[in-house]
A and B are shown apart, each in its own frame.
Chain A
């Protein structure tokens, strides 16, 4: 069972969705270095009035995912460069074990 989940996470990480989400390594238990980089890249709300781009949100709630397979809906910031627009992506993933 655990092997299946790990395999699914591995599949997720190598998928297009997974590749973009590696920008969010903390929650996936990977290195923290790029988090600091991401923090440096993103302007704080105080610096610029942000707006959202939810165009690439494929799920909003867990019920849109496959509960039986243990999937949940996860969000990450996909913003490539500093700017006022926060591009949010989401996908159904199986969360990694704690």
Chain B
């Protein structure tokens, strides 16, 4: 009887320890965001925790436009115009090797890696209008998915069965084969992101009440719009939502265009996005949303880093440093609560 009790105690201790290990480790995905930096003209990807501590820099043969992580965290696909027209490239994070995937004369943007690892969706004007395409992760078997033009910012559902995208100021969803295109809501070309459970899609709605100033989600059937963030006041706008793997958090770029835009002046993109900063909100209660000041004026394109990245971090030394900083930041966030 006593031996049984000992085993039970040991078992419970083991389970507790396992969950602690998970909660203390990389699985706290909200701790790590990745973004293309503006300061070196898009030639590096920065990893930061939610306190704004810079954890690691991945140098790339940029300039990079948009980027997407492979689900295992081993690779990054990105769009770059370093050889002329923008094309899609893949970087092996561990070996720092780069491979070009698209070679057409058109421009290829917004790569999005399917969660099952098989495909990369992207936008291209290779046939004239900007439409969405899909290719195998090695660049083969390119398939055109849309024919309506002005299609951008593809985002895969977690089960890799559907793709959400922006076209003509509206949010659409379709199957991975480009079938069943369905219009869900009015939006802008400011990005969209699936919730990890595949039920909702985050986007920035159009409209007199909230245009550009709050993130909402909508079910993939077009029902149940839900406000995810606070409604910001003042001269700010939301871009590039990215949903954390746990579903608890959503990060986005809060942009404050210069006032001279309202004074009738033309503002170049550099200046339009100059005063932008990453914010993170709790999707359950719209809490948070405060800016991570360390990222102000730095961010061009934003994604959560996948949980698998730590295991392929480029060097043991960097890995140790990264691990250590993550542990520190976790302690910090616990004491903050």
Contacts and interface: CB of A to CB of B under 8 A. Distances in A.
15 contacts: A21-B266, A38-B264, A51-B213, A52-B188, A53-B188, A54-B189, A61-B269, A62-B270, A63-B63, A63-B65, A72-B270, A74-B267, A75-B261, A85-B211, A88-B261
Given A45-B235, A50-B235, A74 B268 contact: yes
**4 tightest CB-CB pairs across the interface, nearest first?**
A52-B212, A38-B264, A51-B211, A54-B188
Nearest to B79: A63
Contacts of A64: 65, 109
A53 B169 CA distance: 10
Contacts of A90: 269
Interface string B63-90: 1010000000000000101001010000
Interface stretch (B131-139, B202-210, B312-320, B327-335): B202-210
Contacts of A26: 264-266
A55 B265 CA distance: 19
Contacts of A23: 264
A52 B109 CA distance: 25
Nearest to A64: B109
Given A24-B266, A63-B86, A54 B237 contact: yes
A52 B267 CA distance: 16
Given A52-B212, A68-B84, A60 B264 contact: no
B188 A28 contact: no
Interface residues of B, number: 40
Q: Bin the interface of chain A by size.
A: 35 or more
A64 B169 CA distance: 17
A52 to B, nearest CB: 3
A15 to B, nearest CB: 14
Contacts of B42: 63
B235 A54 contact: no
Nearest to A86: B262
B282 interface: no
A45 B65 CA distance: 32
Contacts of A67: 81
B104 to A, nearest CB: 16
A93 B304 CA distance: 32
B85 to A, nearest CB: 8
Interface string A86-98: 1010100001000
B105 to A, nearest CB: 13
B264 A35 contact: yes
B91 interface: no
Contact of B263 (A42, A49, A53, A85): A42
Interface in A37-61: 37-39, 42, 44-45, 49-55, 57, 59-61
Nearest to A38: B264
B268 A72 contact: yes
Contacts of A85: 208, 211
